[in-house]
């Protein structure tokens, strides 16, 4: 039995629609998934949560959707969960990625198998190539190489998975607030228009969780802030509603390039 542990955004709903088995739907505390759920996952009750999963015959977990760093009162942590929480809190001091790895280790030690979203829904990872009518220009290709270096640097320090590059200059970097917030920072950009949005996983990231994602709204918003295209790493960035995303990019006159790293 699979449990789909859902954050916000359209990813949990997409998996629920295309996956052949009916999972147990779980809401992560503090999020508002676009699907109906029967359980809530609270980090300070992780031991009881694992008991609830086992009582339902759950053996596999898939984490899908956006989640903000959890906030909880140490005094509210149940006694059985405290050893787990101590490990997670210590890992959070090194960054969100380290904490996620510890969280997965905790579930795996209890016998759960972690399944990646794109493993359950392979259509989320498009083949490499330019998916739109518009093609990258030579300057865009140079900016993509510049973005590689920038994303490797910010990813290695667990900052983010996206950046914006124009004429070889990094003009925006994604932080824990996400891609939409980064793009909003370009609403009043002083350089007018141009540039690319690039997304890729962090170096050494466990790709079963927190793989970067784009969708139709990403394409529309990128065009609204004056960007000329989107570059995503092949097999490293999920595309929600692919047909609608490509259509949105075509309508906006920007390119979508699935690029081999």
Residues 142 and 243 in one domain: yes
User: CA dist 12 to 45, 54, 231, Å?
Assistant: 22, 21, 24
Cβ-contact 222, 198 below 8 angstroms: no
Residues 57 and 159 in one domain: no
- CATH code assigned at 210: 3.40.140.80
pLDDT at position 92 is 78
Final residue before a domain boundary, out of 120, 144, 162: 120
Find how far residue 80's CA is from the centre of its chain: 30
- Structure pTM? 0.90
Final residue before a domain boundary, out of 97, 120, 143: 120
**Which has more pLDDT, 26 or 67?**
26
Residues 111 and 135 in one domain: no
Residues 16 and 88 in one domain: yes
Listed in sequence order, the DSSP H helices in the chain are 11-18, 46-55, 82-92, 96-109, 117-120, 138-156, 179-184, 216-224, 242-252
pLDDT at position 205 is 87
Number of structural domains found in the chain: 2
CB burial of 178-207 (b: ≥16 within 10 Å; e: otherwise) equals bbeebbeebeebeeeebbbbbbbbbeebbe
What value does the mean pLDDT of the chain take?
Answer: 92
Residues 108 and 129 in one domain: no
Reference 61, options 121, 16, 1, 124; nearest CA is: 1
Final residue before a domain boundary, out of 60, 88, 120: 120
93 pLDDT higher than 90: no
Residues 80 and 187 in one domain: no
Helix, strand, or coil (residue 76): helix
- pLDDT tens digits for 162-205? 999 999 999 999 998 899 999 999 988 888 899 999 999 999 88
- Nearest-angstrom CA–CA distance, 26 and 37: 5
Find how far residue 45's CA is from the centre of its chain: 24
pLDDT at position 90 is 85
Residues 45 and 144 in one domain: no
pLDDT at position 106 is 95
Contacts of 240 (CB under 8 A, 6+ apart): 9, 10, 11, 14, 124, 213, 214, 215, 216
Reference 222, options 132, 148, 96, 122; nearest CA is: 132
Q: Which long-range CB contacts under 8 A does 204-207 form with residues at least 24 apart?
A: 205/97, 205/155, 206/97, 206/100, 206/101, 206/104, 207/116, 207/236
Range of the domain at 9: 2-120
- Least confident segment among 5-9, 14-18, 28-32, 251-255: 28-32
- pLDDT tens digits for 217-255? 999 999 999 999 999 999 999 999 999 999 999 999 999
Residue found under tokens 């969960």: 81
User: For the chain, what is the total number of helices (H) and then of strands (E)?
Assistant: 9, 13
Residues 205 and 81 in one domain: no
Residues 85 and 18 in one domain: yes
pLDDT at position 145 is 97
Residues 140 and 243 in one domain: yes
Residues 27 and 112 in one domain: yes
pLDDT at position 21 is 77
**Sign of the C-alpha dihedral computed for residues 55, 56, 62 and 68 taken in this order:** negative
Residues 146 and 40 in one domain: no
- CATH code assigned at 46: 3.40.50.20
């Amino acid at each position: 039995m699979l449990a789909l542990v859902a954050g916000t955004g359209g990813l949990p709903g997409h998996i629920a629609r295309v996956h052949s088995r009916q999972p147990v739907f779980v809401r992560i505390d503090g999020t508002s998934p676009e699907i109906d759920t029967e359980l809530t996952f609270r980090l300070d009750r992780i031991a009881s949560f694992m008991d609830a999963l086992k009582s339902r015959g759950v053996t596999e977990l898939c984490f899908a959707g956006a989640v903000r760093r959890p906030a909880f009162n140490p005094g509210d942590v149940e006694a059985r969960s405290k050893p787990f929480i101590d490990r997670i809190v210590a890992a959070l001091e090194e960054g969100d990625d380290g904490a996620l790895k510890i969280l997965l280790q905790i579930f795996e030690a209890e016998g759960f198998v972690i399944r990646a979203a794109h493993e359950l829904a392979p259509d989320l990872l498009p083949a490499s190539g330019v998916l739109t009518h518009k093609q990258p220009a030579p300057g865009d290709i140079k900016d993509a190489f510049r973005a590689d270096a920038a994303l490797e640097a910010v990813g290695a320090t667990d900052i983010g998975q996206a950046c914006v590059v124009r004429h070889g200059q990094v003009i925006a970097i994604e932080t824990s607030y996400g891609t939409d917030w980064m793009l909003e920072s370009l609403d009043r950009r002083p350089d007018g228009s141009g540039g690319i949005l690039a997304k890729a996983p962090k170096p050494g990231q466990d790709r079963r969780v927190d793989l970067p994602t784009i969708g139709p709204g990403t394409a529309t918003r990128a065009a609204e802030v004056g960007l000329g295209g989107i570059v995503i790493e092949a097999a490293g960035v999920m595309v929600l509603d692919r047909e609608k995303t490509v259509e949105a990019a075509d309508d906006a006159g920007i390119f979508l390039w699935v690029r081999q790293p």
